[in-house]
Amino acid sequence: MARHITITLDRRGVSCRVRLLEEAAPRTCAAVWDALPLSAPVYHGKYARNEIYALLPRFAPTDPGKENTTITPIPGDVCWFTFDGSDLGNPAYGYEREEEHRAAEQGGIIDLAVFYGRNNLLINGDQGWVPGNVFGEIVEGLAEMAEACQDVWMGGARGETLTFARAD
């Protein structure tokens, strides 16, 4: 039986239900599942296009490595990215929180991302191609989440958090 999680934009009160892709990304799914619940400030993608994400200090005992990777996520994909050292150190990224800089420099940071629209391309001017592990797919609430994500883009992310939790 498939396991599910919920992803919530807390302040906006919008959630979606995600089926974990355990057959395609077993290590990534296990790392996320074992760490739940997870919550952090939300950001909207600057380069990838239709993406919101949370940056978290490494939470898994070992990194899952690459599995079920993509550079062209589709609407409803939920992805894992690992960043090391100064990968996110360029001031152009706009991160204001010292915690993200410190976590990236002291062992890495995990980016859990939700893609809500089409035509995404995971390329970064500093890093080049940035493949992500697709570990989940939104199975309920994509339209409502996409509308809320668009509001994060146009209305701002300040004060908003993204929470990942086990679903009933």
Instruction: Give φ, ψ of 34 to 5 degrees.
Output: -65, -20
Residue 100: its H or E element: helix 98-105
> pLDDT for 17-54, tens place per residue?
999 999 999 999 999 999 999 999 999 998 789 999 99
Q: What are phi and psi of 160, to 5 degrees?
A: -95, 145
Predicted confidence at residue 157, as pLDDT, reads 93
In DSSP terms, 112 is beta-bridged to 54, 80
pLDDT of residue 103: 52
Q: Which of 76, 16, 9 is nearest to 42 (CA)?
A: 9
DSSP state, 62? S
* Tokens encoding 131: 């493949």
| Domains detected in the chain | 4-166 (2.40.100.20)
**Distance (Å, rounded) from C-alpha 40 to C-alpha 135?**
19
Best CA proximity match to 36, nearest among 8, 59, 63: 59
Contacts 24+ apart (CB under 8 A), 100-108: 100/55, 103/55, 103/56, 103/57, 103/58, 107/57, 107/58, 108/58, 108/63, 108/82, 108/83, 108/84
> Which helix H or strand E contains 127, and what residues bound it?
none
Which residue in the block uniquely carries the two structure tokens 């990194």?
63
pLDDT in tens, 89-98: 555 445 555 5
Specify the pLDDT at position 99. Answer: 55
pLDDT, tens digit, 9 for 90 and up, residues 59-112: 999 999 999 999 999 999 999 999 876 655 555 445 555 555 555 555 689 999
